[in-house]
Amino acid sequence: MNIAHLADIHLGHRQYGLKQREDDMSNSFRATLQLILKQDPDAILLPGDLFHSRDLRPKILEEAERGLELVPDEVPVVVSRGNHDENLTPREVTWLNYLHRREHIVLLEADLDATPEAAEFTPYGDQSETGSAGFYDIETESGTARVFGLQWRGARTDAALEKVAGGIESTNEEYGEPDYTILLGHFGLEDEVPSLGGNITHAELRDVREVVDYLALGHIHKRYDSGGWIYNPGSPEAHSTREARDDWDHGYYSIELDTAGDGYDGPGALEHSVEHHHARRRPYFSPPAFDVTPYDSFGELREAFHDHIDAQRGSLEAELHEEEFTKGGDLREPMVDLQFEGTLQFDRGDLTIEELAEWTEEAYDALYVQTNTSRITSAEIEELLSEIDDDEVFVDGRLRTEALEKRVFETIASESQYSDYAEEVASLLGDAHRMAKSGEAAEDIADIVTERRRELFPDATESVSIDVPEDPLASDDQREPAESASGETLDERSSTEESTSESGEVPSTDGGDRQ
């Protein structure tokens, strides 16, 4: 028996506001399915985040259907819900329910409210009458693999897993023991990628391991596996520069099932052999961070920066030629991540990062250049920190962070084009910072910043933009040809749209950070 496992497709993610990146998500989905189908699978597993936005524009639903139509009718695509697949408001039908009823997918979810002790799982039946099922049996000559689904539960995942273990046991007692058991889940493991906020420990999976041979995970976009039974493939596309790092694998698993040997420690009669495969995705390139410290003027810095970028062309070319990043043998325009660090020796207002980004975009023939100047400080700020009176920022030995932030914000504002209103701008930065820390919605922060900015600078008419969901009723751009695994052409170049990154930070108006 041959089964494939992929996750975190995020159809509809228009990263950095770029239509090409939205197309990349669809192209990567289709290309990955085409690679999987070459291996003649008996089923395809997809544990969560087929979609990026909870409310879909019609075009994105169409992209999902076009991709799923590549899969033969006899090969089930078995799906569970991820956090991005959830609805913004309670509804009886989600788009995954719709795809289930249209027989594009088999949607699995646990009934966690049926009894206090255990989850209930209903067998797959007539999908025209039901919006989902609890379990699905993959039946081949090798035996029966039973797939259960657990939908996204967030902070309640640990409690849900306790019920799931009991529910699987009682389901198998009622419907017969399968030869192999799979559970789809959408959560991270605390011990595997701790910096990404995994909320489940291995101890909380002990009961699940008693009844499950293969835990098919999604949610974390980095490939990892654990214990010989827990597998997370990584998203087909990288969704941030961090995810694009060399130590982050992205792709899918192929799973071969055969009769279990004497050394197999799982509950089933079949055991697995698992292999990871890279997806075909757009390249990200990150040159070494550029140190601004040695330069006394922007002119000197710019000349050195050009040399710095030119020196990395060989590394860029090598990356672009890797099979994972090519399109039918053709090179693809990269995403470029520029990192700056060090102590700035001249006025921050003279540091036009946007000019450096535009030059890099042309030099590297890049689709998009993202910049990050968060590790740059100025000589004035370093001097400020050394000169701040302890009585100003410490009370009874405790740091008054609001006082320190105010002084730093005032210094930053005084070095920018807003120097005439340094105190007012510093106050606004502090308000926005406090709103963000308290969990205020991005739209509300943007409205406050826009309103105050217009009061201070009436001639600046642009509104502040923070990465918020697009209007689902907005008209779509003209559709560009999709890319297949064989590398059919896609015009990946379009006019750059003013946007922010997925981090939701407001871009500076002096050509500073875009991250």
Q: What are phi and psi of 25, to 5 degrees?
A: -65, -45
What is the tens place of the pLDDT at every residue in 48-96? 999 998 778 899 999 999 999 999 999 999 999 988 877 544 455 688 9
The predicted model gives 346-373 an average pLDDT of 95
HEC states along 271-316?
EEEEEEEECCCCCEECCCCEECCCCCCHHHHHHHHHHHHHCCHHHH
Q: What share of the chain is helix, strand, coil (3-state, %, to 5)?
A: 35, 20, 45
For residue 486, pLDDT over 90 is answered with: no
The token duo for 23 is 């197309």
Q: Please give the residue that has the higher pLDDT: either 505 or 415.
A: 415
Helical (H) or strand (E) element with 369 = strand 368-378
pLDDT band at 513 (very low <50, low <70, confident <90, very high): very low
What is the tens place of the pLDDT at every residue in 233-258? 999 999 988 888 777 899 999 999 99
DSSP-derived secondary structure letter, 16: G
For residue 157, pLDDT over 60 is answered with: yes
Q: Please give the residue that has the higher pLDDT: either 198 or 22.
A: 22
* C-alpha span between 466 and 460 (Å, rounded): 17
For residue 391, pLDDT over 80 is answered with: no
For residue 478, pLDDT over 60 is answered with: no
| Per-residue pLDDT, 467 | 44
pLDDT band at 386 (very low <50, low <70, confident <90, very high): low
185 and 198 Cβ atoms separated by less than 8 Å: no
Residue whose pair of structure tokens reads 């789809």 in the numeric block: 184
Least confident among 211-220, 300-309, 374-383, 466-475: 466-475
pLDDT band at 509 (very low <50, low <70, confident <90, very high): very low
CB-count burial class (<10 Å; 0-12, 13-18, 19+) for 256 = middle
CA 220 to the chain's CA centroid: 8
What is the tens place of the pLDDT at every residue in 404-418? 566 666 666 665 556
For residue 32, pLDDT over 90 is answered with: yes
pLDDT band at 192 (very low <50, low <70, confident <90, very high): confident
For residue 225, pLDDT over 50 is answered with: yes
Domains in the chain and their CATH numbers? 2-278 (3.60.21.10), 284-456 (no CATH)
Mean pLDDT of all residues belonging to the chain: 82
For residue 479, pLDDT over 70 is answered with: no
**What is the share, in percent, of the chain residues with pLDDT greater than 90?**
57
The token duo for 393 is 């920022």
The predicted model gives 125-138 an average pLDDT of 81
For residue 389, pLDDT over 80 is answered with: no
Q: Please give the residue that has the higher pLDDT: either 436 or 373.
A: 373
